[in-house]
Amino acid sequence: MSSWEPWLTFDGIGAAKDVEQSVLIVHSKSGAVPHGAQSFYDQLNSEKQIIWLNAYNQQQLYHEAEAVNSAIAQVVDYLKK
């Protein structure tokens, strides 16, 4: 049976210490839970990079072409390294 409890009690930030892969985080200070993204990033022990696209809010990063293209460009540049 599924419910909200597993989702609401999952500690995604604490899981950062177990990540071994290289990580890129693209986020916005006006997005949802920016302090959570920063906390996750801070706890990573792997190669990491965080990019703040503060010109956009969370909804813009989902569906507005300029914001999405900006985020995708950051990911493409990261993957080319």
Its pTM stands at 0.84
Residue 59 pLDDT greater than 60, yes or no: yes
Is the separation of the CB atoms in 31 and 60 below 8 Å?
Answer: no
* Res 4: pLDDT: 82
CA pair distance 42, 33, nearest whole angstrom: 14
The Cα angle at residue 24 between residues 45 and 63, in degrees rounded to 5: 145
Residue 56 pLDDT greater than 90, yes or no: yes
* Res 41: pLDDT: 98
CA pair distance 43, 74, nearest whole angstrom: 22
